Structures are given as structure tokens and as C-alpha cells.
Amino acid sequence: MFVFAPRDPAIRVQYEVRVPVGTAVAFEELNGAPQVRDDENGVRSLTWIMEASPGLKWPIAAQPAAYEPAVVWSTWEDWSTLDSTWREAINEAALADSTITAALDERLVGSLDPLRDTVAFWNESVRTIHYPFRFWKLAPRPAIRTWKTGYGHALDRAVLLQAMLRYVVQRDGATCTKVMCTRNEAGYGEVARDLPRLTGFDGLRVEVCCGDHGSWSIDPDGGMILDGNEVGRWSTSPLGQRFNSRADQHLSLSLTPGDAEAWSGSGVLKIRTGHADAEALDSQVHRAVHSVLPDAEVSAIVRDSGVLHFNIDLAQWPTNADDQPTLTVGPLDGGLLDRLPADVHLYEETRQSPVRLPWHLIETVELRLQVDDREVRTPEPFSMQGATGSFSVDVEKRHGWLRVTRRLDLHTGVGSQQVELDDPQRHLHPAESWPELRRLLLEAREPEHGTIVLE
């Protein structure tokens, strides 16, 4: 894949692919890219020339091939050939020798859930290094090498985990129909989908399908276990599978007053993300709750199919400058606004490049307080809707209970419902829509839309 627009304007940009005569090369020109010139003179030469390139639009997004002139090419015969070649390379590397198996046997003594305990052991034993693995796509490091060094990038860790899980499945006779590393769309996966290639399929998962354990997968980079009922439906795509393009997070808190200034209650966090272990799960719940109740104690966390239930104890409310008890129902720490692409800068009033949102993002925060006859200053109801999404604040008081609900909904892209599912334009908010999207995000950050004061 080649993007013609350089970082700075250029008088002429030329890209050439040379292959032996007779080699079949499939290619696709994107977003107004120049047409190819196909010559043979001892070798086959495919050349693309663009005159007077204006340079990349700013701010530079992570995946400019989705909107800048670009060409994608491939010499693979078809997806099946590429897939089998890649799997063969993975399987040759994913072998657990006696060093790995002995360590697993020792760790899993008395384990009631060997597969999940294997994932936890793998996470503890091999740390992640965030390094591109494109140089090793078809030549991954052997599992034993990664185990001995104690570190690895996503592909290293995926190969090792596949080896460890397959050993445990074989040892225990578990009825697992699949334990394998798969590639899924990340980056340019939705661009030129008919061309078999590795570029654009940089997402990795280790999939496990077992009768008693259900179907789940592991993110080898972050180490998270992703259960099928947490990540949404799966759909078929080349070189593995891709996730439903939606990410939700919903927090609901309910509090009643107790003795003195103390309050207590319960909460629910519904998520479409996963977790690696109990410690990571606890951290996710605490971050969300402390976004609204900074000094609350969270306890008795129970997980049920992507729904997290817990108890809350609040010794006293935080106070404002006037020493009044004050809470703010605002954006969640680690929530939607923290998942925006790095090129989304709210201080920029205009931009040239589109905003690419790979997911439909929804975040809801609901706070219910038993206030009875107490005087309470609440935020004003608010609603803002547009082509890029919506933001709303609903306030309701009835039967002695106050309910404040804050909801932010960001569409995948403008007109995303009117284009094909795999069209890269589906994920883009054009530069012209940035002022509206920016206003939406700025409103979502305003404390006044969620501040509650007990008079």
C-alpha cells in the first residue's frame, strides 16, 4: 500500500512496483489516485505518477489511505492461499517445549479453570512491548524464545499463548474445537477488501471455542479476555474475524443517605470491553465510579456476562468552593472521550483531514439519589443532535428520588447508515462536519451539564 500525499507538498510523486515478467499483480487505485503505467522490459514494471501533490491534510490521521489518493497491490493468488501460508507459519512457531509445559503443570495444580488460569499465567510471565510486528508477519519467533526472554510484541505473545492453550487442551482433554491465532481488521482492513494482503489486518486475537468454556478470545497486546457476549456479534472477514463496530459503556449508580453525611448504595457497569483478570476488572470499575464519586469505596464486585454489579459507600460528598456538597455526573475516566483518535484536538477550530471513528461510541452515566424533600440544585436538561451524533442530559425528580442521566452518542461517520458496511467512507466524518463534532465533544466536557449541589 502506498499513499501519494507526502507530509509536505511535492512537485512530483512516483511509485513503482517491479516483478518478474509473467507475475500476476492485482491492484486498486483509491481516492483519485493516478492510473498505472504497465511496462515490460526484462521485468514487469507498474508505475504510478502524481504531479503536484499538495501534501497530507492536517492534522495527519492514523490511516490516510482511507481518504487520500493511494494504491493497494498484491501478488497473492487469493485469500485462502494467504491465510493457509500465514497459519502454517504461526503453527510452526506455536510449539510448547518441556520448559513451557513443566511451568504450566506446576502453575495449574488444583486449578478449577485451567484455560483462564493459563491466560493469567501467560500475562504474568511475558510482558508486552509495543513494537510493530510487520517484519515478522510470516516469520514469527518460536514460542520458547518469547517464553525465555520474558517479553514480546503482540505477535510474539499470540504465538506463545496459542502454544500454551493448545497444550492445556490436549493435556486435560477439553472439548475445544478451536484454539488458534487469527488476524482481524485494524487500520486499512476496510480499504480494497477484495485484494488478499497482510497490510490492514494488523489486529490479532487468540480464539478459543470450547463447549464448557463457551467462545472467547484474547487480545495478545493488551492481554484482555474478550467474551463473545461482551464484544457483540462476530462476522466473517478474510484472515479471521472482525468485531461488531460498536463500543458501549453504561454506568448506573444509586445512592441513599445514611447516618450523618454518609451515603451508600449499589451500581452497575455494562461494557463492551474485556478484562484480563480480577485486578484489571476492579480497576475498570473503580475508574468509572470515581469519575462521579471520587472518594467512594467500591466493594463486592460481581461479573455477569459483561455486566458488573458492585456496592458503594461514600463517607461524605465532595464540596465546592462554598463548602456545599457537590457531585458531577461527567465523562467517565477511561470512557468514550479517552478512546478518541490521537489526531482529534478540541483546541483546533478547523481541520483539513476527516475524523475517523472506527466504532459507534455510546456512553451513558446515570445517577439516582434519594433526596426526599431536600433542596437540590441540578443541571438544566440539555439536548444537542446532529449528523455526527448527540449529547443529552435528562433530569427527573419523583417520589423523593432524583435521577440525572448523561448520554453521549458518536456515530461511526456521517452518512454511515447510507453506505455499504465495508465502505471505508462509513468511518469518516468529513472535515466540514468537524465544527459540529467539536461542539458536541466540548458540550460533553462541560461540568455544568452534570453538577449536582445539595443546598
The CATH number covering residue 278 comes to 2.60.120.1130
Do 408 and 375 share a structural domain? yes
The pLDDT-based confidence of 446 (bands split at 50, 70, 90) is very high
pLDDT at 211: 64
59 in the same domain as 191: no
In the predicted structure, residue 421 carries a pLDDT above the cut 50: no
pLDDT score of 76 more than 90? yes
Backbone angles phi, psi at 2, to 5 degrees: -140, 130
Shared-domain flag, residues 85 and 60: no
Calculate helix-pair angle for 154-172, 98-107, nearest 10 degrees. 70
Tell me the pLDDT tens digit for each residue of 341-385: 889 999 999 999 999 887 788 999 999 999 998 899 999 999 999
Residues facing 38 on adjacent strands: 46
Domain carrying residue 438: 247-454
Report which residue type is found at 208.
V
- List pLDDT tens digits, range 306-340: 688 999 999 988 888 888 889 999 898 888 888 78
* Residue 147: its H or E element: helix 143-149
Same domain assignment for residues 416 and 301: yes
Q: Residue 112 belongs to a domain with what CATH number?
A: 3.10.620.30
Q: Count structural domains, the chain.
A: 3
Residues 116 and 217 in one domain: yes
> Is 447 or 278 the better-scoring residue by pLDDT?
447
Q: Name the pTM for this structure.
A: 0.77
Confidence band, pLDDT 50/70/90 cuts, at residue 181:
confident
Dist. CA 222–CA 219, nearest whole Å: 6
Domain boundary among 74, 97, 113: 74
Among 33, 57, 74, which residue terminates a domain?
74
* 39 grid coordinates: 511496462
**What pLDDT does 175 receive?**
65
The SS3 call for residue 324 is coil
One domain for residues 62 and 91: no
Alpha-carbon distance 29 to 69, whole Å? 8
Residue 212: predicted pLDDT: 59
Question: Could you tell me if 239 and 296 lie in one domain?
Answer: no
Beta strands 360-370; 246-257: pairing state: parallel
Q: Helices 154-172 and 79-93: crossing angle, nearest 10°?
A: 70
The reply to whether 348 and 275 lie within a common domain is: yes
Do 233 and 256 belong to one domain? Answer: no
Q: Are 310 and 444 in the same domain? A: yes
Distance (Å, whole) CA 113 – CA 111: 6
Share above pLDDT 90 across residues of the chain, in percent, rounded to a whole number: 54
Q: How far apart, in whole angstroms, are the C-alpha atoms of residue 125 and residue 325? A: 46
Best-predicted range by mean pLDDT (242-256, 332-346, 413-427): 332-346
Which of the residue ranges 98-112, 129-143, 176-190, 400-414 would you say has the lowest mean pLDDT?
176-190
Helix (H) or strand (E) holding 70: strand 70-74
pLDDT tens-digit profile of 50-68? 999 999 999 988 788 888 9
Task: Supply the pLDDT for residue 406.
Answer: 95
Residues 366 and 382 placed together within one structural domain of the fold: yes
Mean pLDDT of 219-244: 49
Say how far apart CA 238 and CA 231 lie, in whole Å.
19
Domain boundary, last residue among 29, 53, 74: 74
Q: Which of 304, 303, 305 is nearest to 232 (CA)?
A: 305
**114-125 helix and 154-172 helix, angle to the nearest 10 degrees:** 150
Q: In terms of pLDDT, which residue wins out, 31 or 175?
A: 31
Instruction: Give the C-alpha separation, 256 to 119, whole Å.
Output: 40
- What is the separation, in whole angstroms, between the first and last Cα of the chain? 61
DSSP reduced 3-state for 338: helix
In terms of domains, do 297 and 402 share one? yes
**Position 424 pLDDT exceeds 70:** no
